[in-house]
Structure 1
């Protein structure tokens, strides 16, 4: 399967937040506009063994959850609004998927409603992240157009870009061109 969505933020909930690409810029792009895109995201990141058929309401809930996670990881557990905290707690209380080993030895997840189960997984991951020491390592990408959040797992904790291959490379090329022009 070809990867359609960005990954590599360091936590699943942060990869999910990236589905609003270029957040905070004039180029902001919604990557979950419909059921097909939400299904594709679940299939890419969820590893469910059964078909995923999300409802229109599920797509709206996905975007609501994404924005709640963004607020939580941006503001912190204490500073986020009570309504956001309640929303995340509600999503986290949904049933989680159960692991299952396939005949070929692959781990897949099973759930009566994979979309709802994915909500639970994402909300639980976000709650765990903001209450862990890793919370202090959440960064905003320094890329001028990016706006992505990522978990800085570098030893010194000084990583600046969500991806060295994309944003870091663009920044280094810009710096090189600026120096060459002088």
Structure 2
């Protein structure tokens, strides 16, 4: 029997998403009246850096770094929404991403030379790596595949890499499954 840990609201959403969208996903239920903040403390930011695979141990974080991370998170979200809606992003949000990306990071091979780790100075380096991923996505060939989850309470960003380009949910294991269950309940009632 497989032992599966049930996800909680504190868990970061790392599956079925691109690196740059893991940061906006630290605000859960974004489209609801009461979004859920996963980056409540600097320690949460350090834990996120480990869980996305940029560090083996949480880097030093403080309230100022947490504020920078949240500001970048919101800029990535707003620019992604603008692209998904085919509207121009604000210059301020684009500048926020560009500034975050300007921190030097360097690729390093793992001990077995089978994987790459990006190494930089702490939180700023992690945010730079995330911002660079956003730049690559927003200006790259997948730009037209950026979508906003149709679960209005989620409103998470995702890249639709399905062949027909008609994916509606950020993840079938969360929002897509919830929508499917809701349709089944409606059929049973009606």
Specify the TM-score bucket, using the shorter chain as the normaliser. Answer: 0.7 to 0.9
Quote the offset at 1:104 in angstroms.
Answer: 9.2
Aligned equivalent of 1:29? 36
Aligned equivalent of 1:115? 123
The 1:49/1:172 distance shift into structure 2, 3 A limit, reads closer
- 1:133 maps to 2:137: no
- 1:142 maps to 2:150: yes
Deviates more, 1:33-42 or 1:49-58: 49-58
> With CA pairs under 8 Å and 6+ residues apart, which has the higher RCO, 1 or 2?
1
Aligned equivalent of 2:82? 75
Quote the offset at 1:114 in angstroms.
Answer: 2.0
Contact 1:102–1:108 under 8 Å retained in 2: no
Rounded to whole Å, the distance in 1 between the matches of 2:24 and 2:162 is: 21
**Unaligned residue ranges in structure 2 (runs of 5+):** none
The 1:154/1:176 distance shift into structure 2, 3 A limit, reads same
**Aligned equivalent of 2:105, options 96, 102, 105:** 96
Quote the offset at 1:39 in angstroms.
Answer: 0.3
Quote the offset at 1:137 in angstroms.
Answer: 1.0
Quote the offset at 1:156 in angstroms.
Answer: 0.7
Rounded to whole Å, the distance in 1 between the matches of 2:155 and 2:35 is: 9
**Unaligned residue ranges in structure 1 (runs of 5+):** none
Q: What's the Cα RMSD here?
A: 2.3
Q: How many residues align?
A: 180
Aligned equivalent of 1:153? 161
The 1:19/1:180 distance shift into structure 2, 3 A limit, reads same
The 1:97/1:78 distance shift into structure 2, 3 A limit, reads farther
